[in-house]
Amino acid sequence: MEKFDTRVKIVIWVLILVGVYVLSDFLIYVGINSTYKDIQRQDQNSQVVVYQADATYVNGRIRGMIKDTGKIQGKYLKIELYTKRDVLVGKSYVEIENKDNTETQPFEVLFRANDVAYYKIDTVKEKEPGGELEILPKELTKGEVLLATALTFLIFW
């Protein structure tokens, strides 16, 4: 009878740990993403489709697709970020890869800039010197998050 009680206790502890992990992961996701507000696009570049553009007060992200890259291969997308008062706070470049005309290229720009209200996207032949934004590291993968969580549990255990 004691073995059954021990097994039940272990299962309960495992369920509690899994529940705490799922709850904290959900709360962190909701907490971080609720601070992001949409930023507006101020250009008419039909070859670039942006499906996510949002920013907090100090950083942001722009994700999208470049259509028909064959017409503009070897060039760059220049993304300029502006405040509500039309002050340029930074710019970033995305290299357009050499692909067939019908292919699309996904892009992602994670940036650190204060008070961004809108952005403009343009196609340029080369990067302009100076003034490029500090690029943030890519978001962590699910495996990296799980590893960091496991290491944190080991530290506190």
Sign of CA dihedral 47, 50, 55, 61: negative
In a domain, 137, yes or no: no
Domain residues for the domain of 109 are 37-124
In a domain, 43, yes or no: yes
In a domain, 147, yes or no: no
In tens, the pLDDT along 61-81 reads 999 998 875 667 778 888 999
Instruction: Give the residue among 109, 49, 48, 52 at the shortest CA–CA distance from 75.
Output: 48
SS3 101: coil
- Do residues 25 and 77 share a domain? no
Q: Mean pLDDT over residues 93-111, rounded?
A: 80
In tens, the pLDDT along 39-66 reads 999 988 888 899 999 998 888 899 999 8
In a domain, 48, yes or no: yes
